[in-house]
């Protein structure tokens, strides 16, 4: 199992995984146009992989991406008397079904946790599904109070 940051050669697989991830949890999305989604996602991934804002960690086996975690760095406004480091927003955590419950996701998460610490990022925030809470807890994450949201109408 190879753990690494995604490269442009991984984009097609990442697009398919994002589609599959969405359909797995919401079958109603299957009626959407894959071609339209593919075009939008391709553009996003090309920009993300080339940026210093997004880091897409993958687990790969024999050239196949089997798991991924997306990290976006959020810059903070500097504060006097304190060195300011960004925090990380974790999203799109997914492992293909045949590789689940084999420790693959935990291996990526441990790699990310080490990377977070080495780069002095202040903290990681993730909104877990009910099913994934124990996955995060066993990897050192703590459940916190929900943030507030605003939805413009």
Q: pTM for this one?
A: 0.92
Alpha carbon distance 128, 41 (integer Å) = 22
- The alpha carbon of 118 is separated from its chain's Cα centroid by a whole number of angstroms, namely 19
Looking at residue 35, its pLDDT comes to 93
Candidate CATH numbers 3.40.50.2300, 3.40.50.720, 3.90.1150.10, 3.40.630.30; the one for domain 2-137: 3.40.630.30
Q: Would you list the domain boundaries of the chain? A: 2-137
| pLDDT by 10s per residue, the chain, length 153 | 999 999 999 999 999 999 999 998 888 888 888 999 999 999 999 999 999 999 999 999 999 999 999 999 999 999 999 999 999 999 999 999 999 999 999 999 999 999 999 999 999 999 998 889 999 999 999 988 777 888 898
Among 40, 60, 43, which residue's Cα sits nearest to residue 51?
43
First and final CA of the chain: distance in angstroms?
46
């Amino acid at each position: 199992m190879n753990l690494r940051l995604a490269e442009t050669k991984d984009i097609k697989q990442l697009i398919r995984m994002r589609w599959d991830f969405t359909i797995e949890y919401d079958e109603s999305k299957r009626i959407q146009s894959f071609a339209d989604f593919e075009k939008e996602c391709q553009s996003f991934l090309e920009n993300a992989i080339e940026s210093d804002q997004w880091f897409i960690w993958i687990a790969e086996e024999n050239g196949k991406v089997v798991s991924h975690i997306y990290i976006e760095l959020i810059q903070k406004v500097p504060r006097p008397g304190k060195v300011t480091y960004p925090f990380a927003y974790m999203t799109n955590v997914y492992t293909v079904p045949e590789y689940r419950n084999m420790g693959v996701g935990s291996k990526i998460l441990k790699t990310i946790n080490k990377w977070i610490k080495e780069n002095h990022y202040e903290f990681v925030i993730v909104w877990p599904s009910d099913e994934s809470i124990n996955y995060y807890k066993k990897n050192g994450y703590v459940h916190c109070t929900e943030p507030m949201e605003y939805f413009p109408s």
